Amino acid sequence: MRAGAATALGGRGEAVVTLPRGRVAVRAVARIGAQDVAGPARTLVVAPAGARRATRPADDGRYATRVRGATVRLRVTGAGRWVRDVRAFVPMLCPGVTAGTFTTQIGTLRIARARIAPDGRFVQASVAGGDTAQRVRGRLSAGRVTGRVELSLGPCAGNASYAVGRTGP
């Protein structure tokens, strides 16, 4: 069963996968050209969430950076179980028309929703149109959400860390 895929750049890559409960064997497979290189299988035990959650209904509400022209905005809903309507402006570096030159652009990341794990962490990635990839990850703790947003749009790519506080219901 194939659970997910990711692209490695500069020797690093990260795949986001959802696994079923129970004992699951996972293995990393890297494709280099036409050759597949597989690592050893590792068995993971995927357990259901415990009774105690790090998030609670009081965490629900709007969150944003506390500067004018907010760069990251989101909502927490469902008694601290969902992050919704993530919007972020991400600075990106783009290759210029002349060799060896670069320009900067600001791209807009939009993620509709991400499920919050019992420990308060979340991650969501999406690909649109074959040339746009975006990912948001973070952690909700003590009324603040911290994390990183990543955006790739055609030849342009960028990422930024963020910290947002509660701004309203």
In the chain, which stretches have pLDDT less than 70?
Answer: 1-13, 49-51, 67-70
Within 10 angstroms of residue 10's Cβ, the number of other Cβ atoms is 5
Tens digits of per-residue pLDDT, 32-77? 888 988 889 999 888 776 667 888 899 999 999 876 655 899 999 9
Output the pLDDT for position 53.
Answer: 81
Cβ(35)–Cβ(116) under 8 Å? no
In order of 14, 26, 33, the CA distances from 21 in angstroms are 21, 13, 34
CA gyration radius, the chain: 18
